[in-house]
């Protein structure tokens, strides 16, 4: 498969701070990849290097085998960044037509607008759009050039539940056409639903690069949640096999390598339990576990 995006031993320094410390990532044509990391982990810097918005202090960044600043590479990219802006007096269709003019083989304007769910707002000025509608406009501008690779940085921020669901379906549709999609999000359930591959960055290094299922399988134990017949505290779980305990009133959520033994002991201690769920760890728990381990290793 053709490598669309590459970082090769990429480092990036800002003064005395090394934000990216030797990251090597190769993303092939047609992949839908989620890049995750805590705030300040270096993922936004990695995206900036991939796009040519910043130059690596050492190492390389390549886009379609070219320098990311090469116009031939840029003409194949669509980008939706967190901090975007457009002339507020222009209408949605006017903006889409303007951005289409930057690309050699753009989508029809109506299709780009439809993918963003903005048909009813096509003749509305950008300054009169709601926050969610403006976010969808940025998506239309990112896809209107029919790019081969699209970068989506926190694309569903500000969207309500219905708009978010429709937006995710548009991303799936675009990916289904063989496009390469690189997504960053703080909504880890989105990454779990959409991505076939997850790259986790913490403190400037890659700490995981695998499918969501593989990453979740690295978490030892199962997630247990239930409601008890009385208020709970950490003391109620003393001596039991658990980790990552969260207690709120009568409700408890935790991870356990031995959920059967834990529940058996709680029943023996006289707790009446309802709304019980025992499932595999989700991507959020795996992400937290990975970044906790990364922190310990970095400190050590």
Give the tens place of pLDDT for each residue, 224-234: 999 999 999 99
For the chain, the structural domain boundaries read 3-216, 220-280
The pLDDT of residue 281: 74
Domain range 220-280, CATH class:
alpha beta
Q: What is the pLDDT of residue 295?
A: 42
Q: What pLDDT sits at residue 299?
A: 32
d(Cα 152, Cα 146) in Å, to the nearest integer? 14
Q: Write out the chain's pLDDT in tens, 300 residues.
A: 689 999 999 999 999 999 999 999 999 999 999 999 888 888 889 999 999 999 999 999 999 999 999 999 999 999 987 666 788 899 999 999 999 999 999 999 999 999 888 999 999 999 999 888 888 899 999 999 999 999 998 888 777 788 788 888 888 888 888 899 999 888 888 888 889 999 999 999 999 999 988 888 777 678 899 999 999 999 999 999 988 899 999 999 998 888 999 999 999 999 999 999 998 777 877 887 777 744 444 332
**In CATH, which superfamily holds the domain spanning 3-216?**
P-loop containing nucleotide triphosphate hydrolases (3.40.50.300)
Neighbours of 300 (CB within 10 A): 5
pLDDT for position 220: 66
């Amino acid at each position: 498969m053709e490598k669309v995006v590459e970082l090769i031993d990429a480092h990036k320094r800002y003064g005395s701070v090394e934000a990216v410390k030797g990251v090597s990532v190769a993303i092939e044509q047609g992949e839908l990849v989620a890049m995750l990391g805590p705030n300040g982990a270096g993922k936004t810097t990695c995206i900036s290097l991939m796009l040519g918005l910043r130059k690596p202090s050492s190492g390389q960044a390549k886009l379609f085998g070219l320098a990311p600043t090469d116009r031939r590479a840029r003409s194949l990219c669509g980008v939706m960044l967190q901090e975007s802006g457009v002339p507020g007096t222009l209408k949605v269709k006017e903006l889409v037509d303007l951005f289409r003019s930057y690309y050699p083989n753009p989508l029809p304007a109506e299709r780009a607008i439809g993918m963003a769910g903005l048909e009813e707002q096509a003749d509305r000025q950008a300054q009169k759009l709601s926050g969610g509608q403006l976010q969808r406009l940025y998506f239309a501008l990112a896809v209107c050039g029919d790019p081969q690779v699209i970068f989506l940085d926190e694309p569903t921020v500000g969207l309500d539940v219905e708009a978010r669901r429709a937006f995710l379906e548009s991303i799936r549709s675009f990916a289904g056409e063989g496009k390469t999609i690189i997504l960053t999000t703080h909504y880890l359930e989105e990454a779990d639903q959409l991505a076939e591959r997850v790259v986790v960055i913490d403190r400037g290094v890659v700490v995981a690069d695998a499918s969501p299922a593989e990453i979740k399988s690295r978490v030892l134990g199962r997630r247990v949640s239930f409601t008890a017949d009385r208020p709970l505290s950490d003391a109620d779980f003393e001596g039991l096999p658990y980790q990552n305990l969260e207690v709120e009133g009568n409700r408890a959520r935790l991870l356990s390598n031995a959920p059967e033994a834990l529940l058996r002991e709680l029943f023996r201690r006289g707790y009446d339990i309802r709304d019980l769920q025992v499932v595999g760890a989700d991507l959020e728990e795996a992400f937290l576990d990975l970044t906790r381990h990364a922190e310990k290793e970095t400190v050590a």
